[in-house]
């Protein structure tokens, strides 16, 4: 199963491994989605085979972060810069900050070790305080 962050890459995995592609209902409304094979649309938070999915919204209406075992997959919600982190600038700033608080609330209760962003991997214990101060 592929829980989508990037449709183009997920379609390549789908073909290679015959994986299932799930996409949030709000992102599935985008006209470009018709170019891709989507096996299942999801809505809201859910769990499946040990993967916890949390609908966040933000720079895309269906943006979702994932936890699997002790890894948080934050994708491109936060960018790593040379000196710190910044929120994805391509969405509404106030909504992004509001959802960052939601992320902080549910990850603070988890025993996480690693964070996987779109261009970085970080130790959760170092990442969390930095994320919280954004």
The pLDDT tens digits for 8-45 are 556 566 667 777 778 889 888 888 877 877 888 899 99
Of residues 14, 88, 9, 21, the one with CA closest to residue 56:
88
Q: Assign 1 a pLDDT band (cuts: 50, 70, 90).
A: very low
Judged by DSSP in three states, 62 sits in: coil
Q: Which residues is 127 bridged to in the sheet? A: none
Take residue 110 and report the two structure tokens written for it.
């988890």
Residue 134, CA distances (Å) to 16, 52, 87, 91 in order = 38, 24, 8, 15
Domain boundaries, the chain: 1-42, 44-134
List beta partners, residue 42: 24
CA distances from 46 to 56, 95, 98 (A): 12, 21, 20
Determine the topology of domain 44-134 in CATH.
Answer: Metallo-beta-lactamase; Chain A (3.60.15)
Q: Is the pLDDT of residue 90 over 70?
A: yes
Q: Is the pTM here over 0.85, yes or no?
A: no
């Amino acid at each position: 199963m592929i829980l989508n962050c990037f449709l183009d890459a997920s379609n390549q995995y789908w073909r290679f491994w015959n994986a299932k592609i799930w996409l949030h209902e709000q992102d599935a409304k985008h006209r470009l989605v018709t170019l891709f094979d989507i096996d299942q649309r999801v809505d809201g938070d859910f769990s499946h085979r040990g993967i916890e999915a949390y609908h966040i919204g933000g720079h895309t209406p269906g943006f979702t972060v994932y936890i699997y075992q002790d890894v948080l997959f934050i994708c491109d919600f936060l960018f790593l810069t040379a000196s710190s982190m910044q929120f994805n600038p391509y969405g509404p700033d106030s909504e992004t900050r509001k959802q960052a608080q939601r992320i902080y609330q549910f990850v603070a209760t988890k025993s996480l070790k690693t964070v996987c962003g779109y261009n970085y991997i970080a130790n959760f214990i170092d990442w969390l305080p930095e994320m919280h101060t954004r």
